[in-house]
Amino acid sequence: MDKGHILIVDDEENILSSLEGILTDEGFSILKAKDGAEALKMIKSGNPDLVLLDIWIPGLDGIQTLKAIKKIRADLNVIMMSGHGTIETAVRATKLGAFDFIEKPLSLESVISTVRSALEHAKSVQETPAVSNIETEEIIGNSSAILDVKRLLKTASVCSKNILIQGERGTGKEFIARAIHLQCPRRDMPFIKINCSALKDEEAEDTLFGVKSSSKQGGQKGRIEQAEGGTLFLDDIEGLSIKLQNKLIKIIRDKKFKRKGDRRFIPLDAGIIASSNQALADEVKKGKFKEGLLNLLKEITINLPSLKDRIEDMSELVGYFIKYFNVEYGKRIEKIDDDAVEILKNFDWHGNAKELKNVVEHIIMTVQGNTITSKDVSAVLPGIPVKGRSALFDGYSSMEEAEKAWETEFITHHLKKYNWDIAKTAVSLNTDRTNLLGRLKRLEIPISSPFINEGKTGFVLQKTLKRSVVLCGQGLHSGLKTGLILSPLPPNKGIIFGDISSGETVPANLDYVQSTDYATTLKSGMTSVKTVEHIMAVLHMYGITNLLIKIGDEVPIMDGSAADFCQLIEDGGIEEQDEVVEELIIVSKYTIGDIPEHGQEQVSSGRYIYIEPSERFSVHYSLDYPSPIGRLEYAFTANGKEFFKNEIAPARTFAFIKDYEKLEEMGLGSGGKLSNVILVDNEKVINTPLRFNDEFVRHKILDIIGDFYLLGRPIRGRITARMTGHTENIALLKKIKEQKPNATTDYTD
């Protein structure tokens, strides 16, 4: 006998196979998904009884997927799984409605026990009338169309008529249905939703009407019976087959139904609300919907307006969503400027209010500061139609200002087209190089001068990943199981770390450096991210400029190098974007420490780091430790990601045995293992063969490459350092930023 349908969501094939084997042996039917989006489709199209959901999955992470599941089916129990979770994550998941949290590696007894408990709990909830846990939310807006909806909703809530809600996708039909339920006399009884378009003919009757019990096997309550005393919501009712429509006509008219295989009638005691994306009267004319069923359902009809038909509600809707997601993501966005609202008003919202809500959520997740601007909105919207672009120019007070804005956009378009090649761009615009440079200066389009004469520019294309990828491991200093989910971001968003538990974010920026003790730590508000230097080094050398990195407190140490992060980026695939980022071109010398006189570098015993002008990014590092390390030096020049991947990324963290006591006193190093650091005593390396004879100095260069990407853009300059660490790296970055914020000079011809 089938004991129930269980959906397993995990991106690891071995976990999916193992759980499928365990649960199939126990008599369960299994569905499998490898990411959150696929899982949500299965939940909408199928009818699982339970979900096993891993936290560290690509795209929508486990926490986001849990939230989405609860919006689709609040009654569906979800068991969270993670081998890389924390108590905070488990608490967060529980608050969001997870039934339980189990750790990997999974115990056979634990899995079976927790699954049985979750299914028993679900069964008891279905059989015992319970107070609905749906939150009440106000209907936002005061347009005439919405005022009509509010009036009809009030009427529908106080009478016992059947209700039909019609409207385009995303207009909020389920929201209105739940609002009616919460305001009617049946509010304390179940609200049962049936997705009619997802019902398969061979299973539909069992799902709707249930199955008769027998001596050999237990009976099954159908969704109609589960709604007893409450509200039955028939979503997308136009998706029902003609056969089921005919049965439904008889059931609604006679107010009784039978389970499959049973002769006994069961009274229909539930309020009926149906919804449709189509005008059902038109579907009747096409022969696709029964007129008799339409007449039974439309005792009260509520037609929901599209977003374009209630555009005057835009400001109120956006303001509401901002408040909602401020709470969700721990943000403090105070307002959205008028130009940004105007762009939203003119956008073609095929997905209506639901699409608007998703866009505002995306903006809230990534925006910095407390105001949403037109630039923030434009970066998220999938292309602004011509009528929407006009809003960008509403702030200009004269023809001269508007012409300047148009000319800037026109020239920038051609610069991008020719990869910021000044000579080719000038030819394409039928002008000469001198004239074009003059226009660039007048329009304040920043082109850095040191390399213009050589046919080079100070701009590179922005890049992100093509798809989300996941990597799990352990934190070096915290000792906690942790992981990374890398997700693409639109242009001009930068590198952002996000706490997978709270949703709060920390920009990968010098201004947010909290600590440099043994590693670089970023902090914003209550959220901190430790040991960021290795992943930042890889992003620097692979040219990734826009990325959301979801994390659990600390970047995993892996084998102590950056090799796994290189592979992770390549697994995700690199996507060039339509925007460019200006390189930070060093034109002066900046120093920290006692710099030796020229020619004395080889005999210096000082500790220093400095950067000076150069055509490329390069690092020359020297160190001088007692045996067994000795004196080492290495010069690295950025000659493409392959050279970095092969010669620098594999270099591992090293540590002296004597330093572990200090680390323990500081509460660090708890995750240090023989497999993820090079351990050195007074005589030798004690735990591993070296990957390079000079691996120690190569790792120091790896750290510098990572720290220097905290300036937020690629760098051109030559770094020379001796015996320095994260503290000196950050001090030099601050000096560069304070003394020369742009680190570039004005260009001249």
Annotated catalytic residues are: 726
Contact 232, 223 (CB under 8 A): yes
The one-letter code for the residue type at 461 is L
* Radius of gyration, alpha carbons of the chain: 31
Contact 718, 635 (CB under 8 A): no
Q: Is the dihedral of CA 320, 325, 328, 331 positive or negative?
A: negative
The β-bridge relationship of strands 163-166 and 300-303 is: parallel
Tokens coding 244? 């089921």
Residue 200, phi then psi, degrees to nearest 5: -90, 140
How many C-beta atoms lie closer than 10 Å to residue 61's C-beta? 23
Q: Is 467 exposed, middle or buried (0-12, 13-18, 19+ CB in 10 A)?
A: middle
In sequence order, what are the beta bridge partners of 465? 574
> Taking Cα atoms as reference points, which of 264, 176, 274 lies closest to residue 232?
274
Contact 314, 273 (CB under 8 A): no
**348: three-class secondary structure by DSSP:** coil
The one-letter code for the residue type at 441 is K
- Dist. CA 676–CA 395, nearest whole Å: 56
In sequence order, what are the beta bridge partners of 623? 632
How many C-beta atoms lie closer than 10 Å to residue 332's C-beta? 8
- Dist. CA 126–CA 122, nearest whole Å: 6
Tokens coding 549? 């990195």
Sheet holding 481-488, edge to edge: 469-474, 481-488, 547-551, 495-499, 505-507
Cα dist from 120 to 3, 25, 98, 188, 544, whole Å? 11, 19, 15, 22, 48
**80: three-class secondary structure by DSSP:** strand
- Dist. CA 146–CA 141, nearest whole Å: 6
